[in-house]
Amino acid sequence: MASLESVDVIALCCTALVLLYYRYKAKTRLPYPPGPKPLPLIGNLLDIPKVSVRGFEVFAKWSKDFDSDILHIDALGKHIVILNSVKVANELCGERSAIYSTRPHLTMLSELMNGTRFMAAMPYGDAWKARRRMFQHYFPSNDPSRIAISRSEEFVRKYLLPRILDSPEEFLSHIRNTVGGVTLSLAYGLRIKRFDDPWIKLAEEALSTTTEAAVVGRFLVDVIPALKYIPEWIPGAGFQKVAKEGRRTLNSFFDELYAAAVQDIVDGVAQPSFVSLALEENNETKLQDLKEVICETAGIFFAGGSETTVVSIWNFVLLMTLHPEVQEKARREVDIVIGHARFPQFSDKASMPYLTAVLKEVLRWAPIVPAGMPHCTTADDFIVVISSLEDQSSLTMPDNHRAMLHDEVIFPNPSRFDPERFLTSDGQLRKDILDPETTATFGFGRRACPGSQIGLTSLFIVAASFLSLFKIMKPVNAQGQEVDPLVEYTGRTMVDNPSPFECRFIPRSKEAAALIQAQVLNLDEEL
């Protein structure tokens, strides 16, 4: 009978052989793109930035160190190729989108949490195409719909501005609730409570759970999928409890919101929405097959637009606080276009090139999703003759939006906040420069965010309204002196939001305050 020591040696050797097999089974005839030197057996596992580190900044540094827009790392046979320039992202995820449009299979998100109910995490295929096609039928990506515009304008007038006037110190929360209300109203037609709405809370929990699980390398089970079979009670398997709670939250978000929307339609109290339009246009027989598609497509609105829009507005407020000269110049343009007797409308955007440039610079200076959602290949491919991208089952490709939008060749002095870079000498918008509204910010190719126009619509309406009715000023210290707010970004999930910061919203005049207050007269507690 073999001794215990010999059994341990045999087990260790078998483990090593398995690791070697997975490490070298996909070895290609041509080299991968450059990257940090891998270690035996584990490859670059230790090089993957930790959750507390802003990985996209590490990738940008590697790009300079290795003088390459395309980088490669290998963790236990899992290949990760990082794209650091718009040129290569457009070529691969755009021009070759037929084979670069699926998502990597993350065990935690896809299997344990059932996160592929969100279209952004869904593999490329017929199910994804059906949901994308249905979304774009009612909300085209190249043109904000009238219902999206009117709903955004209504929520800003009737909810956001009055809340800012009443309790300006809670502006971060007011912005989040407003955007959440807009997206849920568009998707489901539900009435949203002015305070502590349970639907918004549920949706935020579902989105937070998903974005954390979507970070490549966040959970060890994504690197070693066999860990998914470990019971929750075993020490070190705490991820199983996280997964169980995440799955419950995600299913509640999709199923309960959809059921509530359908009930409002039956009761005759629903507002026009994606769900109501989809149910009205399809006959009862067809709806049997489309129910799941409609239910999961509705979830795209909040998942695809809420958090990113919130963060873009927060960034706008922060940058206006830090750059009062830019704020004042944008305000003068707003005053010229709309005066002082009405609220800004989305239709005013065409007459406001400077504010439009400001918003483009906000998106460029602080990319909302700096590392992008990773793509995954579905076929072998070759790049520029020298590099081979094979083993499509394990290749993931994050787009480093931060590196792209801070490319010194395209944007000289990229760390400087400068809206003028998007304007011609006579103050019109440039057409010869990369546009953050259409490139990099919302992804590439077939997996670009389908609801980007909804988010951009809300961003403009909020920004113009703030400038028209308030002055956004720096906070003051105990001595009454103005001080710069804290500028710190978390970078711990896919969406890079600023840490809570302070500023002061001061009504520009008594007339401005009266215009806002007139909106809340005789309103009930829901929108």
Tokens 């160190």 -> residue: 65
Is residue 519 within 8 A of residue 188, CB to CB? The reply is no
Task: Give the separation between CA 136 and CA 450, rounded to whole angstroms.
Answer: 7
pLDDT in tens, the chain (527 residues): 444 344 444 444 444 444 444 444 444 456 788 999 989 888 888 887 765 567 778 888 888 899 888 888 887 777 788 888 888 888 877 778 777 788 878 899 889 999 889 888 888 899 999 999 999 888 887 777 788 899 999 999 999 999 999 999 999 999 999 999 999 999 999 888 877 889 989 988 988 888 778 776 678 888 788 999 999 888 888 899 999 999 999 999 999 999 999 999 999 998 899 999 999 887 666 777 788 999 999 998 887 778 889 999 999 999 999 999 999 999 999 999 999 999 999 999 999 999 999 999 999 999 988 777 777 777 666 554 333 344 444 456 667 888 889 999 999 999 999 999 999 999 999 999 999 998 888 888 788 888 888 899 999 999 999 999 999 999 999 898 999 998 888 765 677 888 999 999 999 999 999 999 998 754 555 66
> 470-473 and 387-389: which strand pairing?
unpaired
The answer on whether 449 is annotated among ligand-binding residues is: yes
The number of angstroms, rounded, from the C-alpha of 361 to the middle of its chain's C-alpha atoms is 17
pLDDT of the residue at 385: 34
pLDDT of the residue at 524: 53
The number of angstroms, rounded, from the C-alpha of 37 to the middle of its chain's C-alpha atoms is 31
Task: Give the separation between CA 105 and CA 213, rounded to whole angstroms.
Answer: 12
pLDDT of the residue at 493: 61
